[in-house]
C-alpha cells in the first residue's frame, strides 16, 4: 500500500467519525438508561427519563446542523442518523408497550414502517450505490412520534387529549411518510435503471 493510499484510508476512517456522527451514535447509547428507567415500576423516574429523552432528541437536531456547518456531511452520516432514529423509536415504543403506556398496534406500525424503509434503502444502496437522504415527511414523522412518546412517558392525565392527538397525527404521518419513501425509491430505480 502506498503512502497516498494509506493517507486516503485514514481520511475515510476519520471522515466517518465526525462530531455529528458521534452525536448520532450517542442517541443509541442513551437508550440504555432510558429503557432501564422506563421499565422501573412507579412514576418517580419518569422526569429523569424525560430529561434523557430531550437530550437524545437534541442530538438529532444538532448532528445535522453541525454536519452542514462544519462541512462534515458524509454518506455514513446519512445512513447513521436515520438508523439511530429508527432504533430509538422502535426501542422506546417497545418499552412503553411493556409498561402499558403505548398501544401495541402503534409500536407495530412504527417498527413495520422503519423496517420497510431500511429494506428499501438497502436495496437502493446495493443496486444503485446511492444513499437516499431522509425525506421531510420522514423527519416530521420522527418529530410527531417523539412528541407522542414523550407525552406517553410523562403520564400526565391533564395532557391525555394532546397525547391522543399526537397518537393519531403520528399514525397518519407513518403512512404518509412511507408512501413518500416508496415514491422516492421508485424514482431512484427508474432514473438509474
Read off the pLDDT of residues 113-159 as tens digits, 9 standing for 90 and up.
999 998 988 888 888 777 777 788 988 999 999 999 999 999 888 99
- Domain count across the chain: 1
**Backbone phi and psi for residue 39, each to the nearest 5 degrees, phi listed first:** -80, -10
Distance from C-alpha of 9 to C-alpha of 18, rounded to nearest angstrom: 15
Please give the model's pTM, rounded to 2 decimal places: 0.83
**Backbone phi and psi for residue 79, each to the nearest 5 degrees, phi listed first:** -85, -45
Tell me if 118 sits within 8 A of 83, measured CB to CB. Answer: yes
Q: Which domain holds residue 70?
A: 3-191
Tell me if 64 sits within 8 A of 4, measured CB to CB. Answer: no
Q: What SS3 state is found at 85?
A: helix
Tell me if 190 sits within 8 A of 127, measured CB to CB. Answer: no
**Backbone phi and psi for residue 30, each to the nearest 5 degrees, phi listed first:** -70, -15
Residues found in the chain: 193
C-alpha R_g of the chain: 18
pLDDT per residue rounded down to tens, the chain (193 residues)? 555 444 444 444 446 778 888 888 899 999 999 999 999 988 889 899 999 999 998 887 887 777 778 887 877 777 888 889 899 999 999 999 999 999 999 999 999 999 999 898 888 888 877 777 778 898 899 999 999 999 999 988 899 999 999 999 999 999 999 999 999 888 888 875 5
Distance from C-alpha of 72 to C-alpha of 115, rounded to nearest angstrom: 27
CATH value at residue 38: 1.20.120
Task: Return the pLDDT at 145.
Answer: 95
For residue 151, give the nearest of 87, 82, 92 by alpha carbon. 92
Task: Return the pLDDT at 4.
Answer: 46
Task: Return the pLDDT at 30.
Answer: 95
Task: Return the pLDDT at 11.
Answer: 42
Amino acid at each position: 500500500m502506498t503512502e497516498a493510499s494509506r493517507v486516503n484510508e485514514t481520511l475515510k476512517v476519520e471522515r466517518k467519525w465526525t462530531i455529528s456522527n458521534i452525536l448520532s451514535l450517542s442517541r443509541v447509547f442513551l437508550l440504555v438508561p432510558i429503557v432501564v428507567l422506563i421499565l422501573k415500576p412507579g412514576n418517580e423516574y419518569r422526569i429523569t427519563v424525560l430529561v434523557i429523552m430531550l437530550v437524545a432528541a437534541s442530538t438529532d437536531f444538532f448532528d445535522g446542523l453541525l454536519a452542514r456547518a462544519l462541512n462534515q456531511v458524509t454518506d455514513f452520516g446519512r445512513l447513521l442518523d436515520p438508523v439511530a432514529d429508527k432504533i430509538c423509536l422502535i426501542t422506546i415504543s417497545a418499552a412503553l408497550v411493556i409498561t402499558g403506556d403505548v398501544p401495541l398496534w402503534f409500536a407495530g406500525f412504527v417498527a413495520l414502517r422503519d423496517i420497510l424503509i431500511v429494506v428499501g434503502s438497502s436495496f437502493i444502496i446495493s443496486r444503485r450505490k446511492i444513499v437516499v437522504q431522509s425525506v421531510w415527511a420522514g423527519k416530521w414523522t420522527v418529530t410527531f412520534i417523539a412528541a407522542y412518546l414523550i407525552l406517553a412517558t410523562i403520564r400526565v392525565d391533564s395532557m391525555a387529549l394532546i397525547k391522543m392527538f399526537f397518537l393519531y397525527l403520528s399514525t397518519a404521518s407513518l403512512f404518509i411518510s412511507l408512501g413518500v419513501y416508496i415514491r422516492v425509491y421508485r424514482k431512484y430505480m427508474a432514473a438509474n435503471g
